[in-house]
Structure 1
Amino acid sequence: MNPLPFPRRSPRERSLATEPPLTQRIALVSGANRGLGLEVARQLGTSGMTVLLGARNLAAGEKAAKQLRRAGSDVVAVQLDVTAQADVDALAARIEQDYGRLDILVNNAGAFFDIGDRASSVDVSHVQSALDTNLLGAWRLSEAAVPLMKRHAYGRIVNVSSGCGAIDSEGEDCPAYRVSKAALNSYTRMLASELRGSGILVNAVCPGWVATDMGGPGGRPVADGAAGIVWAACLPPQGSITGGFFRDRAPIAW
């Protein structure tokens, strides 16, 4: 008989034994040097936890991290291109060495909002690139994060998705983006199912249309979109909400 992957504990025992204080939590946010990711890093940092601010361009990441440190948050810029396995592996090793744990992972890095494309004519290389960032980037990071989270039987993985990735969403535009986010939603549900009962909660969050470089002008304030992501990143053990798809803390259709 295979050994159980997790110890048998009641929900109360697990919550008392494994939920770390905010000031001891380590969070990683990908694509965090600007826009939605930067605001998520800011809000998490304000709570008192240490935030690793992932950025493809480390200089840009350090500039953003300095801005948050001036406001009193413990934020560290880290090199992270989610499409590069070497970056993911190097960062996982650094987290292991420097902190010995990872409590929160926000898979925010995203790209290829191809509003002018159509499914019948899109350049398939664009679809491949969208999948590599929006789906496989989150997949790479989650695989690296889960062992660090299992060690303490505590973790929160938040996949930043989109309502237009819902299977029944209407629309003929953004085919690469839609398909990549629909796939991310499917991955969210599979990973949540696998990790159910482990103390690691996995959810997808749609921030809504926010005014960022990718979303364009006219959207709602970035802070409003980030708030739902931060909520999912800080879910308490009680209730064990996992495998869900949310916007503004409310479930939405897949």
Structure 2
Amino acid sequence: MSDGRVSVVSKVAVVTGAGSGIGRAVALELLEAGWSVVLAGRREEALAETARLAGGGPPAPVVPTDVADPARVDALFAAVRKRFGRLDLLFNNAGSFGPRGVPLEDLAYEDWRSVVDTNLTGAFLCAQAAFRLMRDQEPRGGRIINNGSVSAHAPRPDSVAYTATKHAVTGLTKSLSLDGRRYDIACGQIDVGNAATEMTERMSAGVPQASGELVAEPVMDVADVARTVRHMASLPLAANVQFATVMATAMPYIGRG
């Protein structure tokens, strides 16, 4: 088309944090299922690698984005509107754990703020931009899936910034679900525990428990998370998985401590 927009033959998704871990796995799963997927994240090289791993399907657009920057978020969704004309799914996945093993009383303000800006403000900015696009498109509506954590229910030691933001994401999910009704926008949340990614490599070596012990924890295949997100995304907008917990079966979450 003369304006650069492509005709839409599949549903359109934006995946943030698509350059690694859960974001990459979900992006590849959606691409395999026939979705058009826009890959967003801070590292252009990592996003390009995700696109390369997608294989022989239509190329996945790469849009380097810092979700904590309102101007960059606006540019991301403007690019989606220009290329596809609509948005059916936002997987709000970009996140940061922050410095590990730092006691609450020693956590620097800058580190606290960085985690809040990415995990909470970034998720809000992307959801807000998605709302505006989903509200105005025809047919109206879409779906937002927020990546929470089992830390939204039970924290780990020395994780105050991550835990606080993941609790806040749960509140964001509930508000988006309510406010989205008038625009046919559904919103759900997936809380993940011990998926095997770069972030969880340390699990096999041992992680601190509430008791003070250092214990190795089991992990699960990140593909199991991706398949769950794909299922949530495939539902008609009249149905919604409000909250889903996907975790390694034997991780010490049930009865943690």
- Percent of matched pairs sharing the same residue: 33
> Amino acid of the residue matched to residue 128 of structure 1?
R
> 2 CA distance for matches of 1:40 and 1:32?
8
Cα distance change on mapping 1:175 and 1:110 into 2, 3 Å: same
Confirm or deny: 8 A CA contact 2:146 2:173 kept in the other structure.
yes
Cα distance change on mapping 1:91 and 1:170 into 2, 3 Å: closer
Aligned twin of 1:162: 149
| 2:120 counterpart (120, 135, 138) | 135
Aligned twin of 2:3: none
Confirm or deny: 8 A CA contact 1:156 1:234 kept in the other structure.
no
RMSD: 2.3
| 2:245 counterpart (219, 230, 247) | 247
Confirm or deny: 8 A CA contact 1:49 1:74 kept in the other structure.
no
Confirm or deny: 8 A CA contact 1:114 1:177 kept in the other structure.
no
Cα distance change on mapping 1:233 and 1:106 into 2, 3 Å: same
Aligned twin of 2:228: 228
> 2 CA distance for matches of 1:226 and 1:117?
31
> 2 CA distance for matches of 1:131 and 1:182?
11
1:176 is displaced (CA, Å) by 0.8
Any idea what the Cα deviations from partners look like across 1:18-45, whole Å, max 9, x if unmatched?
Answer: xxxx942110000101111111001100
Aligned twin of 1:80: 65
In the superposition, the TM-score normalised over structure 2's length comes to 0.80
1:72 is displaced (CA, Å) by 2.7
Aligned twin of 1:14: none
| 2:78 counterpart (93, 104, 113) | 93
- In the alignment, structure 1 segments of 5+ residues that lack a partner are 1-21
Instruction: Could you list the structure 1 runs, at least 4 aligned residues long, displaced by more than 6 angstroms after superposition.
Output: none
Any idea what the Cα deviations from partners look like across 1:171-199, whole Å, max 9, x if unmatched?
Answer: 43211110011111111111111112532
Q: State yes or no: 1:186 paired with 2:184.
A: no
**More moved, 71-80 vs 172-181:** 71-80
Cα distance change on mapping 1:248 and 1:211 into 2, 3 Å: closer
Confirm or deny: 8 A CA contact 1:156 1:232 kept in the other structure.
no
Cα distance change on mapping 1:113 and 1:211 into 2, 3 Å: farther
> 2 CA distance for matches of 1:61 and 1:80?
10
Confirm or deny: 8 A CA contact 2:134 2:183 kept in the other structure.
no
Residues 105-124 of structure 1 aligned to structure 2 (within 5 Å): 105-124=90-109
